[in-house]
Structure 1
Amino acid sequence: MNFDQNLYLENEKVILRPLHQNDLPLLQTIAFDADTWRWTVTKIETLPDLKNWLNGSITDRQKQSRYTFVIVDKATGNLAGSTAFGNISETDKRLEIGWTWVSKACRGTGLNRHCKFLLLRYAFEELGYERVELKTDVLNLRSRQAMRKIGATEEGILRSHTLMHDGRRRDTIFYSILRAEWPQLKATIFADLSTSPTQV
């Protein structure tokens, strides 16, 4: 994973591009929605919260620990949220796709599915990684269903795994997709997206 590269992934519906400081004004138009942060470790309610999230994401890229993208809805040209590669192990050829949030207007539109396809294809076909991990709050049924819909395998629950913004200790459920499974998933679950070009 080359953290110095400005990575752009694109198909007919969505563009994933690196998060930048100058995205702050556009992020302000979509970030302040309580339901977005219901199941996340981070809670963004104020402009300082958003600035801290943005600065932390950029710092993590500089530290080569997380690569954060903004999601651009090509139908409108507007920002639709954010997602990231993280917990990267070059030795183990493993990474996580996560830290994903999508604006209220774009939920249920299929945008997140397009994002996951682009990220999975890049991880397996460009980086040559062997394993992609995903995880969520065990109570987040919408997220769990979405992970199953893209063919991820449920692996188990880590109890009292993560401290949430409201003080609750979250049970975290893990999912994964392996490189050996990707061709079949690409040919079935993502068959309608597989002919779309990826731009890097």
Structure 2
Amino acid sequence: MNERIRKNEYDQPIGKEVIGWTTRELPEKFKLEGQYCSLERVSLEKHLDDLYEVYGPNSRPENWTYIPLNRFEDKSVFADYLQTISQSLDPVHYAIIDKSNGKALGTLALMRIDQEQGSAEVGFVIYADELKRTRIATEAQYLAACYIFDELGYRRYEWKCDALNEPSRKAALRLGFVFEGVFRQAVVYKERNRDTAWFSIIDSEWPKVKQRIETWLAPENFTEEGKQKSSLNLL
């Protein structure tokens, strides 16, 4: 059933009341811990070699089609890039660490941070092939969302991608983001147009989304060989 629509003294419909809202803090935490992985603020000293395997010439070129970067062909150039993003406050870049071996398998970033309105986006999602479609990949996204909603108290969490990037669109929906529409001719990158697909989770939806992901991540949802028993899409 729809919520009763509020009206002002002029009989005009207005949004629901938000009482006691205050500006939120920036996401500044250096480490987020999970069962299978941790997120660590990227570090030149700690993550250069591992992340060069993800960002460098050994990565498949098709991995870079929808990313506003090209893979790095020179390790010293990548080192400069890594040093720069390690100092950034927006985006805040995290390395995704496999807790079984301590290896960095990719990155994600919290970005377009609006402290006044309590909104942030997850972006720069760049994975090694071995990270894709794994528990770690899902848990990394879960940890970032928990930080935004549960610790920092933001109201809105966004996912955006090239509207033609079907794997990214499917990943957003699988993780519980709601499709909001397409911004046409939103960006020019790599000498081509990008229509941008927008997705979001809002704070009122997060408890249900969170429970669903936790159910999927539970060890009992996986066989000894690491195969899922129930798909996240079906939970």
Cα distance in 2 between the residues matched to 1:158 and 1:45: 29
Matches within 5 A, 1:60-139: 61=88, 64-139=89-164
Of the candidates 74, 81, 86, which is equivalent to residue 53 of structure 1? 81
Query: How far is the alpha carbon of 1:24 from its aligned partner?
Result: 1.8
5+ residue gaps, structure 1: 196-200
2:50 is paired with a residue whose SS is helix
Q: Equivalents in 2 of 1:30, 1:129: separation in Å?
A: 30
Q: Please give the TM-score of this superposition, normalised by the length of structure 1.
A: 0.87
AA at the equivalent of 1:31: Y
Task: Give the match's secondary structure for 2:205.
Answer: helix
Aligned residue in 2 for 1:41: 68
C-alpha separation in 2, matches of 1:126 and 1:80: 25
Q: CA offsets, 1:118-165, max 9 Å, x none?
A: 111111110000000110111111111010001100011111212223
Given that 2:135 and 2:217 are in contact with CA atoms closer than 8 Å, whether structure 1 keeps it comes out as no
Amino acid of the residue matched to residue 202 of structure 2? L
Q: CA RMSD in A?
A: 2.0
Structure 1 counterpart of 2:166, from 127, 131, 141: 141
8 A contact 2:178–2:201 mirrored in 1: yes
Normalised by the size of structure 2, how large is the TM-score? 0.75
Match of 2:233 in 1: none
Q: Is the 8 A contact 2:185 2:195 kept in 1?
A: yes
Q: Deviations over 1:43-78 (max 9, x none)?
A: 12312552353244234x2xx321100011122321
Contact 1:21/1:54 (<8 A) preserved:
yes
Contact 2:185-2:193 within 8 A present in 1 as well: yes
CA contact (8 A) 1:42 1:164 kept: no
160 and 177 in structure 1: CA distance in 2 versus 1, 3 angstrom threshold: same
Partner of 2:210: 186
SS at match of 1:117: helix
Pair member with larger Rg: 2
The change in CA–CA distance for 1:125 and 1:6 in structure 2 (over 3 A counts) is closer
Q: Does 1:29 align with 2:57?
A: no
Go from structure 1 to structure 2 and tell me whether the alpha carbon gap of 1:169 and 1:53 turns closer, same or farther (over 3 Å shift): farther
Question: How many residues get paired?
Answer: 190
Residue 130 of structure 2 aligns to a residue in which SS? Answer: helix
- Given residue 30 of structure 2, which amino acid in structure 1 is its aligned partner? L
- Identify the residue that residue 169 of structure 1 maps to in structure 2: 193
Q: Identity, % of aligned pairs?
A: 26
Q: Does 1:14 align with 2:34?
A: no
Question: Deviation of residue 106 (structure 1)?
Answer: 1.5
Structure with more contact order per residue of length (Cα contacts < 8 Å, sep ≥ 6): 1
